[in-house]
Every structure is written in C-alpha cells, then in structure tokens.
Amino acid sequence: MVYHIFQYYIDGVWYRDSQVYSDTQFDAIMDRLAWQLPIGMRVFHFGAPGPKQYPLDNPIVLRRPVLSLDPMALVKQTPDSRTFLSDRHTQQRLPVLCQIGRFVICGPPDSWPCFRYVDGARYALTTTLRIIPLSFREAKSYVQRYHRHNAAPQGHKFSIGLFSPSEDTYIGVAIASIPKARHLNDGFTLEINRVCCDPAFSNACSKLYGAAIKAGKAMGYTRFITYTLPEESGSSIKAVGFRLDGIVPEREGGWRRGGRVRSSPCRAPAGPKLRWILNMDPP
C-alpha cells in the first residue's frame, strides 16, 4: 500500500503530521487544493502498490517534531472573504483561502498559495472584529490568563470584549475604572487600566481602546488616561489619539504607604511607567 504524510514549515522548522493518509484520503485533500500544494507544505510518500503494508522508516521524517493538524479539516474551512493575512516583514496583505485556528492557506487567486502559521509577531490576521459587552468576572479571568505582565484589577466601571466570527470565544478585553491616582480622580477622568488581546489579530488593541473611549465619552467622561511600560511602543494608543503626558517614576517602598502595609499583586511591574492622556471636548 502507498501512504502519504504531510509536513509543515513553521518558523524555520519542518513538522510532520501525526496522521498518515491513504491514497484515497490524499487525493481528496489535493482535490480540495486543486492539486496546488501550498508553499510551506510537503508530502512524503512511502510504500508500494499492492496489499503489503509498510511502516514509516525514513529517519529524516521520523526526526521531525509532530504536529497534529488535520489537512482535510484545514482545506474545508473557508473563512469570511474579508479575512486577510498581514505579513509585517514584507508588508504584504494576502487573502486567506482556508483557515483552522492559527493555521491558514493564503494567496491571491492568480498565484501559488502559501501555508502560514499566524504567530502574532510576523503574521497577523485582518478580519471583521466586533465589540461585545462583558462582565467584570469574564474580563478579569481573561486578563489573569493572558496578560503579559499585569494581574487583573480589583474593580471596574465597565468592561468590553472583542469578538471575531472565526473564533469560539472573544479575542480581547478592555477594563476601565476610576483613576488609581487620587489627584486625577476628578469625576470626569476615566482610566483604561487593562487592555489584553490576542496578538494574532491586527488592530485589535486599537479597536478596544477606541471602543472604551467611545463608551466613556457617552457616560460623560472628558479625559482618559492609561499607562504603558517604557519598553512598549504605545502605537495602539497613539493611533486613537493619546499623547504622552510624562513618566511616573518608581516609588520607594512600592505599594506600601506610610503605616499602611500592602502586598504587591502577584504580577505587577514595579519600575517607571509612561502616562498617556486624551482630552475630549465636553458633549
């Protein structure tokens, strides 16, 4: 019997699929691909015609790390026609032809397709994103799981989520509250103190900031503040109109104030931060 095993090229490494496919299965997959095997995919064929069964014994293929990706499921999943893959190195924007999770096949109709893994660093997805209401419990849970360097806050004024039709759940959250600095808490200032989203989606962070500002303005807030670490670019908040207001230095003693002993959250950067501000005209 003749067997076929698919291989995938991701970030400089070739992976082999966990499954081996028969002639019939292989033909069905290639039919879906119009017999255009995407760049970044290979197929290793082994065995021989006839009833005898053959094990996979090629040492090069066997040494490859295993990736469980069903190629038939991949080629059957056709995303929204407005979904594109953005290559941040080449500045290319390619329509996505097939998608399952973070694995995509992309390319314009008049060229050979490519297989890509959306890692959020080089490759990102541009697709339809929708703002949804979110409870504080849901937003807090998302931040606790996915935020790079900060724990979730203890309360909020409101929280919002970001939803993509291609995902089973929301792909980002924003939490807004009254300012933590008492001298900024004038009743008209809102602090956007957590924004956390999946880096695989382009402009997700800016969309969350923009929606939080729009919601806050509707509630009567006229000034918005947020903070970033010095090593963060701040491109998402610049995109929605924030300007740099200054550097908040690290305070000696951290969270302790006078005779009040407080423990630091489990995840909280202790160094200096950049404060950003956005002033809006009163409604």
State the Cα angle at 30 between 24 and 35, rounded to 5°.
135
Closest CA to 11 of 118, 164, 140, 131: 118
Q: What is the pLDDT of residues 248-280, one digit of tens each?
A: 887 665 555 555 555 555 556 667 888 999 998
**25 three-class SS:** helix
Domain boundaries, the chain: 1-127, 130-279
pLDDT value of residue 247: 87
pLDDT value of residue 218: 93
Q: Using pLDDT thresholds of 50, 70 and 90, give the confidence band for residue 14.
A: very high
CATH superfamily ID and name for 130-279: Gcn5-related N-acetyltransferase (GNAT) (3.40.630.30)
Q: What is the mean pLDDT of residues 74-96?
A: 89
Residues composing the chain: 283
The answer to whether the predicted template modeling score (pTM) of the entire model surpasses 0.85 is no
The residues, any chain, with a CB within 8 Å of residue 77's CB and separated by 6 or more, are 98, 99, 100
Residue 106, pLDDT above cutoff 90? yes
CB atoms within 10 A of CB 128: 12
Q: Are 77 and 69 in contact (CB under 8 A)?
A: no
Q: Using pLDDT thresholds of 50, 70 and 90, give the confidence band for residue 9.
A: very high
pLDDT value of residue 80: 76
Q: What is the pLDDT of residues 18-63, one digit of tens each?
A: 999 999 999 999 999 999 999 999 999 998 888 888 899 999 999 9
